[in-house]
Structure 1
Amino acid sequence: MSRVNPNAKPKTRKKGRKTQAGLLQRIGWRRLAKGGAALGFLGGCALIWTSGLPQSLWVDLQKKLVAESAEAGLVLDELLVVGRKRTSQEELIAALDVRQGQPILTYDLESFRVKLEALPWVKSAVVGRQLPGSLTIQLVEREPLAVWQNRGQLVVIDQHGEEIPLSDIRPFAALPLVVGPDAPQHAVELVTLLAREPELSEKVVAGVRIGGRRWNLRLIGDIDVQLPESAPEEAYSQLARLAREHDLLERDLRVIDLRLPDRMILHGVPEGGGDEGEQAKGQAT
């Protein structure tokens, strides 16, 4: 459709002679007269309907009203969209199935809202008419937060832990990866935690939700960091400090256990093949 403004704000028309003159200039004196007749006709139809007129005659009157409104200039001229970032113009128009020149009074705005909210990126939508010829749409789109690995499938989730039904998630490969049945509901907590230490977060490959209570972090080099259930922020910041000041992550480690409040337990891989444990007291949260 032509004249689609993706970032427009709904027009606000000031009251007064200038506004009336502008309207007259747009639809013409003759159309204005017909438009008034159409609105009067609508009131008459309402009275007839409440008087018990057969539905078949009511339908005929509706058709006549639509024709009168179109002649009066009440047809779709432009689509004003606010809040569109990731929803394409083509998706939006296809969902509504509207065309320029259609009678604007025939549109079912509630149906439009439902169709728009079925689009992958749309969280909520408000649809309205701005006569004589504008259809206004205000969108609130989802924000991608993380990629959730669930039963071998990868899906993008938003900040509310809800799946965004995308056919291709490759553009979002840089998002944090979370694993576990309840990981989406707690993904915001993990992302907030990782943001505390950006340098260390670059080494995090995935966050694995354990027992519905806490997180394990898988780092580059196949190192597993076991975070505590309580105060994981303090443990993570302590790990970041040790990584910066003592090159902790450069050691041949398999597991860094931070679950105990007074110590850090390190598990390495010795030449013999078995795990070796090392406790570092006073270096944990």
Structure 2
Amino acid sequence: MLAKLTGFGIERITISGIAELSEIEVLVAAGIDPKTSLVFFDADEARRRLEANPLIREATVRKLYPGEVSITLVEREPYALWQVKGELFVIAADGTVIDKMDDGRFAGLPLVVGAEANMRASEYLALRAQAGALGRHIRAGTLISGRRWNLKLDNGMDVRLPEKAPGEALKRLVALETDYRVLDKDLLAIDLRQADRVVMRLTEEAATARAEQMKQKTPKKKGGEA
């Protein structure tokens, strides 16, 4: 990118390495405006200012006489969103917090929830990948007590995974969806924490309807029976 600032000592600014940041954001962060003079421009200070931006991991700033500034950036790549204590953060792959989530640029990133979930986001993404086509229905992963994951699906359903072999539990969920279309059922939760059973919790409306059905199926006592 070439941005020309004429008449103020800096005739050209070259910026490379940007992906998420805009050119204007880089210039503002570096402290460069139309009044900036190349002679008095402090490249080291500009580098420090740039690296104070959470999205920038590393910056190189050079003054090239007679009238050019070169800026090379290495950005931190947004990897996931992390929700904890009511706040939402953008995190890198290693769990480092890049910044608070305050704009829509990162709304499509995977979401992990709970204490220390940021440090295990890659684990959650691996589980989503193991779910195959069903993975597109998984909207978030909540780390429970630092031990296991609950998955939130796009229909509001919770899927409770075991601490050990969660991938195997996901295979069971995929099989249930293939055979019985469980995602279309009136369920609040599917509990897969036990290897030998599946526990399904109905929505309140479905539970009420089922109770009524059971009442109707219960045979009435004949007159005179105690």
TM-score for both structures, normalised by structure 2: 0.74
User: Is 1:271 aligned to residue 208 of structure 2?
Assistant: yes
Q: What is the aligned counterpart of 2:129 among 173, 191, 195?
A: 195
Gap change, CA 1:119 and 1:179, over 3 Å in 2: same
Matched letter for residue 243 of structure 1? E
Q: What is the aligned counterpart of 1:257 among 159, 182, 191?
A: 191
Find the residue that maps to 1:195 and give its secondary structure: helix
> For the Cα contact (< 8 Å) 2:2–2:15, is it kept in 1?
no
Q: Separation in 2 of the partners of 1:194 and 1:133?
A: 51
Structure 1 vs Structure 2: percent identity of aligned residues?
Answer: 36
Q: Separation in 1 of the partners of 2:64 and 2:129?
A: 44
Equivalent residues in 2 for 1:11-26, closer than 5 Å: none
Matched letter for residue 268 of structure 1? R
- Report the equivalent of 1:42: none
Cα offset, 1:185, TM superposition: 1.1
- Report the equivalent of 2:37: 102
Structure (1 or 2) with the larger CA radius of gyration:
1
- Report the equivalent of 2:143: 209
Find the residue that maps to 2:178 and give its secondary structure: helix
Cα offset, 1:203, TM superposition: 1.9
Equivalent residues in 2 for 1:1-285, closer than 5 Å: 3-4=2-3, 76-98=10-32, 99=34, 102-104=37-39, 106-166=40-100, 168-260=102-194, 262-269=195-202, 270-271=207-208
Find the residue that maps to 2:25 and give its secondary structure: helix
Q: Separation in 1 of the partners of 2:35 and 2:209?
A: 76
Q: Separation in 1 of the partners of 2:59 and 2:156?
A: 44
Q: Separation in 2 of the partners of 1:225 and 1:119?
A: 37
**RMSD, matched Cα:** 2.9
Gap change, CA 1:245 and 1:132, over 3 Å in 2: farther
Gap change, CA 1:254 and 1:3, over 3 Å in 2: closer
Q: Separation in 1 of the partners of 2:188 and 2:43?
A: 58
Q: Separation in 2 of the partners of 1:149 and 1:103?
A: 43
Gap change, CA 1:204 and 1:107, over 3 Å in 2: same
Cα offset, 1:139, TM superposition: 1.0
Q: Separation in 1 of the partners of 2:37 and 2:107?
A: 42
> For the Cα contact (< 8 Å) 1:253–1:266, is it kept in 2?
no
Cα offset, 1:77, TM superposition: 3.2
Q: Separation in 2 of the partners of 1:121 and 1:181?
A: 22
Cα offset, 1:205, TM superposition: 2.9
> For the Cα contact (< 8 Å) 1:124–1:141, is it kept in 2?
yes
From the two aligned structures, give the one with the greater helix fraction.
Answer: 1
Gap change, CA 1:122 and 1:263, over 3 Å in 2: same
Cα offset, 1:87, TM superposition: 1.5
Could you give the per-residue CA deviations for residues 174-220 of structure 1, whole angstroms, max 9, x where no partner exists?
A: 32222101111111221232133352122223211101111111223
Stretches of structure 1 that go unaligned for 5 or more consecutive residues are 6-74, 275-285
> For the Cα contact (< 8 Å) 2:30–2:47, is it kept in 1?
no
Q: Separation in 1 of the partners of 2:65 and 2:131?
A: 53
